[in-house]
Amino acid sequence: MKLKVSVIGTGYLGATHAACMSSLGFEVIGVDVDAAKIELLTAGRVPFYEPGLEDLLQKEIASGRLTFTTDLRAIADVDVHFICVGTPQQPNSLAADLTYVDAALDAVAANCKPGSLVVGKSTVPVGTAARLRERLLKINPKADLAWNPEFLREGFAVEDTLHPNRLVVGVTNDAAENKLKEIYASNLAENTPWVRADLPTSELVKVAANSFLATKISFINAMAEVCEAAGGDVTVLAKAIGYDPRIGSRFLQAGIGFGGGCLPKDIRAFMARAGELGADQALEFLREIDSINLRARQRVIELVRKDLSDNLAGKKIAVLGAAFKPDSDDVRDSPALDIAAQIAAAGAVVTIHDPKAIAPAKKRFPALGFSEDIEGALKGADLVLHLTEWKVYRELDPAKMAKLVANPIMIDGRNALDREAWIAAGWKFRALGRAN
C-alpha cells in the first residue's frame, strides 16, 4: 500500500509539491485556509504562472489521486503531512513571520493519526523544527516530526521537485528517515544524493544555500561596480573566472540583482536568527550582500539620469520586464518593478511590459503605466530599460524597435541582450558593469 500524503498550504511550494507527489502515485490531499485558492486548484487552475504545473495539476486531478479541501478533518487517515506554508518577512523586522507555520502545526497535530509523520518543508529560522516537534508530541504523542527543506526554483518548480539535485532530511530517528525514503523512493532509484541530518542542520542547509547564492550574485555585482570604475567588462570577467570549476559559471550574471520571495527574505531572517543566537558577527557579511544588491537598483537609475537628465519629470521610459526573473509572474521584491516605481516617483512617465506579470504588477502599483505589447511600451520612449531577461526581449529586432522610440537608448539591466546588434542598429547601449 502506498502512503497517503497531505500538503498543508497550497501556495507556490505546496501546490507544486501536491501535484508532483500525486504524479508519483501517492494519494494526495492539499489543504489551505484560503477557500478561493482551493476552489481554483480543484478546478485545475494554478493561481500563478509556473511552466508545466497547470497541465500536471489537471492530469493528477483527473487521475483521482489529487484532491483539495479547506477541511482539515480530511487528513485523519493520512500517513505523511507536508507543511508548505509561507514564512514571509515580518513587517517591522528582518525576522521571519512564523504565524502560518505555527498555525499549520497546531491544525495538523489536532487532526493527524498516531504514527503519522509531519514533515516541514517551509524555510524557517533554525530551532523552529525542534520547537514544533515538542509541541506536536505534547498534542499527539505518537506522531513524529521531520524537516525536509525544499530547493525549488520558480520557473523550474516541477522539474526541481520531481528531480531535485539532493534530498536533505532532518530526523531524530530511523523510523522517520525510513518513511521519507518510502516517499522519495523514485529519487533514490535515480541515485539522488540523500543527506540525513539533525533537525537544526537541515533547517540551516536551506538558508546557507540561499545565502551562498545571494553572495555569488552580489559578488559579481560588486565586481561590476569595480569594472565600471576601471573601464572593464564584467561579462568577460564572469566568463573568465567561471571556467575555474571551483568557482563555476552559474549565478554570475551581473545586473540589477536578486529579488523574489526567497533570497532577500531568507538572508535577512538568517541574520536576525544569528543575532538571537549570539552569532551575529558570523553573518555580518550578509548585510553587505544585501546592500550591494540594493545598490544595483540605484546604479541603473543613475545611468538613466546620466543619459536623460537629473530631472526625470515627464521623460517617457519603457520598462521591459516586471517579474523578479523570467518564466515567472512573481513580482515579490522584484528589482525590475522597484526600479520602475522609483523612476515613476521621480516624475518619469513609465510604461511597463512583461509577458506574464502585468496583472500582479498592476495590483501592486496601480498608478504605473502598463502595455500588453512590447511595441506599445516602446512607442515614443526617451529611453528603454531591459530589467527582466525574458527570451522574447532577446529576440527583438533592434532596427525595428529603433523606429518606435523617440530616442534609441537601451539600458540592459541584466546583461542579456546582444550589445553589438543593438549598437549596429543605431542604439546607444548601456549596461551595468561594462564601459558606458
- State CA 216 to chain mean position distance: 16
Closest separation in Å from C-beta 263 to ligand UDX: 5
DSSP string covering 283-322: GHHHHHHHHHHHHHHHHHHHHHHHHS-S--TT-EEEEE--
Closest separation in Å from C-beta 322 to ligand UDX: 12
Closest separation in Å from C-beta 126 to ligand UDX: 17
323 versus 343: smaller Cβ distance to ligand UDX: 323
Closest separation in Å from C-beta 152 to ligand UDX: 5
Closest separation in Å from C-beta 216 to ligand UDX: 7
The kind and range of the H/E element at 167 are strand 167-170
49 versus 151: smaller Cβ distance to ligand UDX: 151
86 versus 255: smaller Cβ distance to ligand UDX: 255
As a whole number of angstroms, the distance between CA 125 and CA 270 comes to 7
The kind and range of the H/E element at 421 are helix 419-424
Query: Residue 426 is placed in which grid cell?
Result: 543605431
Active site residue 262: yes
59 versus 287: smaller Cβ distance to ligand UDX: 287
- β-bridge partners, 221: none
- State CA 426 to chain mean position distance: 36
Closest separation in Å from C-beta 166 to ligand UDX: 11
The kind and range of the H/E element at 430 are strand 428-431
In our burial notation (b when 16+ CB lie closer than 10 A, e otherwise), range 3-22 reads: ebbbbbbbbbbbbbbbbbbb
Contact 6, 28 (CB under 8 A): yes
Query: How many C-beta atoms surround the C-beta of residue 77 within 10 A?
Result: 12
Marked catalytic residue, from 84, 112, 227, 262: 262
Query: How many C-beta atoms surround the C-beta of residue 190 within 10 A?
Result: 11
* Torsion-angle region of 127 (φ positive above 0: left; ψ -120 to 50: alpha; else: beta): left
Closest separation in Å from C-beta 220 to ligand UDX: 7
At 433 the three-state DSSP class reads: coil
Closest separation in Å from C-beta 430 to ligand UDX: 17
State how far the alpha carbon of 87 is from the alpha carbons of 90, 103, 156, 434, in Å. 9, 12, 21, 37
The kind and range of the H/E element at 81 are strand 80-83
106 versus 160: smaller Cβ distance to ligand UDX: 160
252 versus 308: smaller Cβ distance to ligand UDX: 252
Taking the C-alpha atoms of 88, 93, 96 and 99 in order, what is their torsion angle to the nearest 10 degrees?
-80
- β-bridge partners, 317: 350, 383
As a whole number of angstroms, the distance between CA 222 and CA 314 comes to 32
289 versus 349: smaller Cβ distance to ligand UDX: 289
145 versus 292: smaller Cβ distance to ligand UDX: 292
Residue ranges binding ligand UDX (CB under 6 A): 150-154, 210, 213, 217, 251-253, 255, 257-260, 262-263, 324-325
At 246 the three-state DSSP class reads: coil
Could you give the residue numbers annotated as active site?
A: 262
